A and B are shown apart, each in its own frame.
Chain A
Amino acid sequence: MLRPPFRAPENSRIVVQMGSQPALSVDGVVKSFGAVHAVDEATFDVEVGSLTCLIGPNGAGKSTLLNCVAGFLRHDSGRILLGADDVSPWPSDRRARAGLATVFQTATPVGGLDVLGNAMVGCHAWTRHGFATGILRTPGQRREEKEIREAADEALELVGLGPLAHRSATTLPFGQLRLLAIARVLAQRPRVLLLDEPVAGLRAAEKARMREVFLDLKARGFTQILVEHDMQFVGAVADRVLVLDRGKLIADGPPSVIRHDARVIAAYLGTATV
Chain B
Amino acid sequence: MNAVALRRTGRTLPIAAAVVLILLPWELSLANQSLYVQMGQYAIVAVGLSLLMGFAGQVSFGQGAFYLVGAYVAGVLATRYHWPTLATLALAPVATAAVAWVIGLPLLRLRGHYLAFATLAVHLIVLSLVFTWSGVTGGEIGLIGIPALKIGSSHPAGATYAAIVWAAVVAVALVSLALVGSRAGRALRAIAASERDAAATGIAVGAYKLRLFVLSAGYAGLAGGLFTYQLHYLSPDSFAVILSVQFVVMIAIGGMGSVYGAVFGAIAVTLLRHELSVLGTRPGMPLQAPKVLAIGVFGLILTVVVLFFPRGLLPALGDLTGRFRPQVAEIAPALPPMPVPGEAERAAELESLRGPTDAATREAGD
The chain B residue with its CB closest to the CB of A265 is B350
CB of B2 closer than 8 Å to a CB of A:
no
Q: B162-217: which residues lie under 8 A (CB-CB) from chain A?
A: 175, 178-179, 182-187, 189-190, 192-194, 196-205, 211, 215
Question: Assuming the A-B contacts A104-B197, A211-B364, A268-B347, are A171 and B357 also in contact, with contact meaning beta carbons closer than 8 angstroms in the complex?
Answer: no
Bound form: Cα–Cα A111–B360 in Å:
36
CB of B155 closer than 8 Å to a CB of A:
no
Q: Output the residue of B189, B257, B364 with the most chain A CB within 10 A.
A: B364
CB of B237 closer than 8 Å to a CB of A:
no
Bound form: Cα–Cα A230–B341 in Å:
11
CB of A7 closer than 8 Å to a CB of B:
no
- Mark contacts of A54-80 with chain B using CB atoms, 8 A cut-off: 1 yes-contact digit, 0 otherwise: 010110000000000011100000000
Contact B352 A168 (CB under 8 A): no
Q: Count A-B contacts at CB 8 Å.
A: 195
- Neighbouring B residues of A120 by C-beta, 8 Å: 186
In the complex, which range does the number of interface residues on chain A fall in? 35 or more
The segment from B32-40, B71-79, B137-145, B329-337 that touches chain A is B329-337
- Neighbouring B residues of A106 by C-beta, 8 Å: 333, 337
Contact B183 A129 (CB under 8 A): yes
A135 to chain B, nearest CB (A): 5
The chain B residue with its CB closest to the CB of A141 is B182
- Neighbouring A residues of B189 by C-beta, 8 Å: 110-113, 121
CB of A37 closer than 8 Å to a CB of B:
no
The segment from A18-26, A42-50, A219-227, A253-261 that touches chain B is A253-261
Partner of A110, one of B193, B332, B338: B193
B→A interface (CB under 8 Å): 175, 178-179, 182-187, 189-190, 192-194, 196-205, 211, 215, 257, 325-330, 332-333, 335, 337-338, 340-341, 343, 346-347, 349-350, 352-355, 357, 359-361, 363-366
Shortest Cβ-Cβ A-B pairs, 5 listed: A134-B182, A125-B202, A96-B202, A232-B360, A231-B353
- Since A113-B186, A204-B366 are in contact, a sample of 7 more A-B pairs with Cβ atoms closer than 8 Å, ordered by chain A residue number, is A72-B200, A108-B333, A111-B192, A134-B185, A177-B329, A204-B364, A268-B346
| 18 cross-chain CB contacts under 8 A | A57-B341, A58-B340, A58-B341, A58-B346, A91-B199, A92-B200, A94-B202, A111-B193, A113-B186, A113-B189, A123-B183, A144-B183, A169-B329, A170-B328, A174-B335, A188-B201, A231-B350, A235-B353
